[in-house]
Amino acid sequence: MSETFAAGRSTRSELLDAEEIDPADLRDNLSDLRRLNVLFGGVDAARRGLQQFRLPLDRTLQVLDVGTGSADVLVALQGRPVRRSPSLRLLGLDRNAEVLAEARRYAQSRGMALTLVRGDALRLPFRDRAVDVALCTLTLHHFPPEAATELLRELGRVSRLGVVVVDLYRSKAAYVGAWLATRVVARHRMTRRDGPLSVLRAYTPSELVALAHAAGLPGTQVEIQPWFRMTLVARFDEHQRA
């Protein structure tokens, strides 16, 4: 294991990255991920990141969630909005049609209707500064460095106020924690295999800062969160990007 971390991030593919996944396996895996996201702070980390963007009381905060998965973060935000924002306009994007179908089912089961778009995270189908904040939760580690830089650049391009990225960070302790959490909480083999591998594929905080700088994101800060997560917040000058 020491050699694995010394060699840097893993390039092995996760099962969730496959072009075709059995629909039943996908549903069970996404259900596991929703549970893990709530129990281990993914939703709260996203909410705390968004709270750093203040708007006048008569403004709606427009948030685009890139790599939305089953849209559990958006559902949670809509159910308990971000403090200091009177209302939210939430959009979710994912490249996988089956994932988006599951996102719609999950949102409808919670009595919510979300705007969901199929698209490529590296070529976002939105104009420049189309939304206030671009959010990306537990998605960046799926991309190698060059693509991760392009993803961050795209998040910055489509957002007016800034970017929030929440992800795991790579460490021995995080790997052990992911292994234990997926054995205790997860029910599906995909989650139990992909969870620890996600840590091996994740970036360290210093690597994330370097990726953000390469992507040209200004005002970037990275904070360590509980349960081996980190949050990157890049805040832009609103007047310069109006």
Does 86 map to a domain?
yes
Here the CATH number for the domain that contains residue 182 is 3.40.50.150
Q: Helix H segments across 11-137? A: 23-39, 42-50, 72-79, 97-109
* pLDDT attached to residue 15: 76
Asked whether the beta carbons of 228 and 199 are under 8 A apart, the reply is yes
Domain that includes residue 26, residue range: 2-7+14-235
Q: What digits encode the pLDDT tens for the residues 88-107?
A: 899 999 999 999 999 999 99
Q: Quick one: tokens of 129?
A: 């500064």
* pLDDT attached to residue 7: 59
How many domains is the chain partitioned into structurally?
1
Does 240 map to a domain?
no
**Residues of the chain where predicted confidence (pLDDT) is lower than 50:** 1-3, 6
* pLDDT attached to residue 2: 43
Does 241 map to a domain?
no
Residue 11 DSSP code: -
pTM tops 0.75:
yes
* pLDDT attached to residue 3: 40
* pLDDT attached to residue 1: 46
The H or E element that residue 199 is part of is helix 189-201
